[in-house]
Amino acid sequence: QLQLAESGGGSVQAGGSLRLSCAVSGYMYDRKCITWFRQTPGKEREGVAAWHTGYGSTSYDDSVQGRFTISLANDERTLYLQMNSLKPEDTGMYSCAAYYASFGCGATWNTTGPYKFWGQGTQVTVSS
């Protein structure tokens, strides 16, 4: 089992930056795919950035590529999402999610189906 808890959301003007944190606890010994998801009203949750703990590999949605950076603390207990050049369309509830994955996050990393563990989310609001 894993427990996830997000922090760092807030309100910012377009062009600004925020850093989100996801505290990870529980059974830490198996490889995991840990992903930041975003949900806006009327839309499905979408994966924006993923990290695989075994390979250190990352994946990004095209909409955030070059602006967002995902990283993991050395002890693997905190996942970060550095968000730069924020746009109003980045507004949403950001959640981190995880599942045990031995061989990478896979092609479906940005869909909710594989994920068994979820945090409560933190709100990000970007004004124009």
Reported as a single tens digit per residue, the pLDDT across 31-84 is 999 999 999 988 999 999 999 998 889 999 999 999 999 999 988 899 999 999
| φ and ψ of 56, to 5 deg | 65, 20
Place of tokens 């925020």: 18
33 in Cβ contact with 24 (< 8 Å):
no
Mean pLDDT of 97-117: 94
3-state helix, strand, coil in the chain (%, to 5): 0, 50, 45
pLDDT at 37: 98
pLDDT at 119: 97
> What mean pLDDT, rounded, does the chain reach?
95
Q: Given pLDDT bands bounded at 50, 70 and 90, which one contains residue 94?
A: very high
